[in-house]
Amino acid sequence: MAKVAGGLAALVALFAGLFAKVEPVLCLERATLAFILGWVGGQVWHLMIGAVTPTSSKLGTVEQETGHPEPHSGVGGTN
């Protein structure tokens, strides 16, 4: 997901530079910097959100607690 954020930041920087008629080399340098900052920012975001979001193993499931599987809602499949 961090690569997607970095890629989007790079595309925005690249198009902004092209529309502002900035030198092509400078556009590429800015896009590269935007990609790196977006990638690092995405990694930090994932690290922070991953630290505060509980996983399913921490929450436990109905099947583990009761020994019976949790009933399905029936949306998009069979029960």
For residue range 25-63, what is the model confidence (pLDDT) as tens digits? 888 888 888 888 888 888 888 888 877 766 665 555 555
**Cβ 39 vs Cβ 10: under 8 Å:** no
What per-residue confidence (pLDDT) applies to 21? 86
Banded model confidence at residue 22, pLDDT cuts 50, 70, 90: confident
What per-residue confidence (pLDDT) applies to 65? 56
Structure tokens at 51: 């630290």
Helix, strand, coil: what percent of the chain each, to 5? 70, 0, 30
What per-residue confidence (pLDDT) applies to 18? 82
Alpha carbon distances (Å) from 10 to 14, 34, 44, 46, 48: 6, 5, 18, 19, 23
**Mean pLDDT over the full length of the chain:** 74
What per-residue confidence (pLDDT) applies to 66? 59
